[in-house]
Amino acid sequence: MSLIDLLKTATDLPAAWSSRELARVGTACVKVLRMDELPLAEEAHPTTEALIVLDGRLELVVEGTEVPVGPGEMYVLPAGTKHAVSAGSGGTLMIVEVPEE
């Protein structure tokens, strides 16, 4: 495995909100993506997700409650949790997905 520059990798992605898988650690998948100002509709995933803001801000909405996540902060979404992103997010987000056993 080689050294990965997370911020450069996110910047080089072809579109915002499209993630790139960087590695597998056990059963977990580590991804990075670039956020932009546009909102994302509500969704839920079958995996637990750790959302880690590397820079910028994630305007997260978890089951109707606004949860702003800033640089250096992490929010863990249990599998099946409904969440959306409000307008105004931007920066770099790392996601660690862990499938349910």
Of residues 47, 46, 33, 36, the one with CA closest to residue 94? 33
**Domain 6-99 part of CATH 2.60.120.10:** yes
List pLDDT tens digits, range 28-48: 999 999 999 999 999 999 999
Kindly tell me if the per-residue pLDDT of 1 is higher than 70: no
Mean residue pLDDT of the chain comes to 95
Kindly give, in sequence order, each residue whose CB lies less than 8 Å from that of residue 93, ignoring residues fewer than 6 positions away: 10, 32, 33, 34, 35, 51, 52, 53, 54, 56, 58
Mean pLDDT, rounded, for 80-95: 96
H-assigned helices in the chain: 6-11
CA of 60: how far to CAs of 25, 33, 38, 44, in Å?
A: 25, 15, 12, 13
pTM above 0.85, yes or no: yes
> Where in the chain are the domains?
6-99
